Structure 1
Amino acid sequence: MPDPELRSDAARNRELLLAVATRLFAAAGTEPSLRAIAREAGVGIATLYRHFPTRESLVDAVYQDQVARLTTGARELAGRLPPAPAMRRWMDLFGDWIATKNGMLDTLLSMIEAGGIAHAQTRAELLMAITTLLDAGRATGDLRIDVTADDIATALIGIFTVAPRPGHEARTGRLLDLLMDGLAPRGGGRGQ
């Protein structure tokens, strides 16, 4: 029978590697080396390879983790905040995801081209997350009823293209606040 302490240690190492890789991908202009990720996590390269035998397996794990954070984040935010602040906070999560994606873009694009990542599935999951927040805002009259999840996704991609993070946080924040102003009902009516 495997030692439970070894299993929990391995699980902690995996989570640590994911967290460090996410942080380094988000902060990097270019993809960091696997050795740099292992070193930053305080583990040996063999430990990294035991959990993630290839760069692609690490990128896939980080990517899937970030998508899961966005989808569960939408539900959690909708459950504890009014709709408009929940949407605005979720936009920040989306920005974190974009920054992380940008730090692993070369590998990610190769994986998408090879069919290793189902881009259409990810898009559907993200649009559903936005719809969760939009539906809550429409129900309370806090968000316009004529805006679609695709409208918001497109606007967010535009914002994070012209003001990528890291480095442009103040500008990004202003642009996201402007987007939120545009999502408010017009003319004082509920959800117009």
Structure 2
Amino acid sequence: MPPHEALRAWMGCFIDYVTAMLGMAEVLRSLVESGITPYAHSHEMMLETLDSLLKAGAQAGTIRADISAADMFAALTGIALASGKPEQREQAERLLDLTMDGLRPRSGQGQLP
């Protein structure tokens, strides 16, 4: 898959993941309150994956090079929290497409040399 398509596919999977997590919110909240951090490893893996996808897209010239994995993760988390319920999936898909539009390189900015 070209990098920008791989990133978009991964973004959809992220929404699926967060939707599942929202359904388990009470259990996860109890774990966190007990001192267990259930997200640490998965968060690190997601940031590494996002970083790889963003760098591949920047290298291919299809994604801006000035977006960090942490920024992208924050944007995706916001989309998931705002429209992560199964009945909101169409809205989530539109927001992911809007995000992809914003990741396109601007003329002379954010591109790798």
Q: Which runs of 4+ in 1 moved over 6 A?
A: none
Q: 1:137: Cα distance to partner? A: 0.6
**1:112–1:119 Cα contact (<8 Å) kept:** no
Residue ranges of structure 2 left out of the alignment (5+ in a row) = none
Residue ranges of structure 1 left out of the alignment (5+ in a row) = 1-80
TM-score (norm 1): 0.54
> Match of 1:92?
12
Q: Residues of 2 paired with 1:154 and 1:190: CA distance?
A: 19
1:105-147 deviations in Å (ceiling 9; x for gaps): 1111111232333433332111001011111111111110100
TM-score (norm 2): 0.89
State whether structure 2 residue 72 is matched by structure 1 residue 145: no
Q: 1:188: Cα distance to partner? A: 6.6
**1:141–1:190 Cα contact (<8 Å) kept:** no
Relative contact order (C-alpha < 8 Å, sep 6+): which is higher?
2
Q: Aligned partner of 2:90: which letter?
A: A
State whether structure 2 residue 89 is matched by structure 1 residue 169: yes
**2:62–2:105 Cα contact (<8 Å) kept:** yes
1:55-111 deviations in Å (ceiling 9; x for gaps): xxxxxxxxxxxxxxxxxxxxxxxxxx1011110000010001001101111111111
Larger radius of gyration: 1
| Percentage of pairs with the same residue | 38
After superposition, residues 109-148 of structure 1 pair within 5 angstroms as: 109-148=29-68
Q: 1:171: Cα distance to partner? A: 1.0
After superposition, residues 53-64 of structure 1 pair within 5 angstroms as: none
Q: Residues of 2 paired with 1:98 and 1:163: CA distance?
A: 10
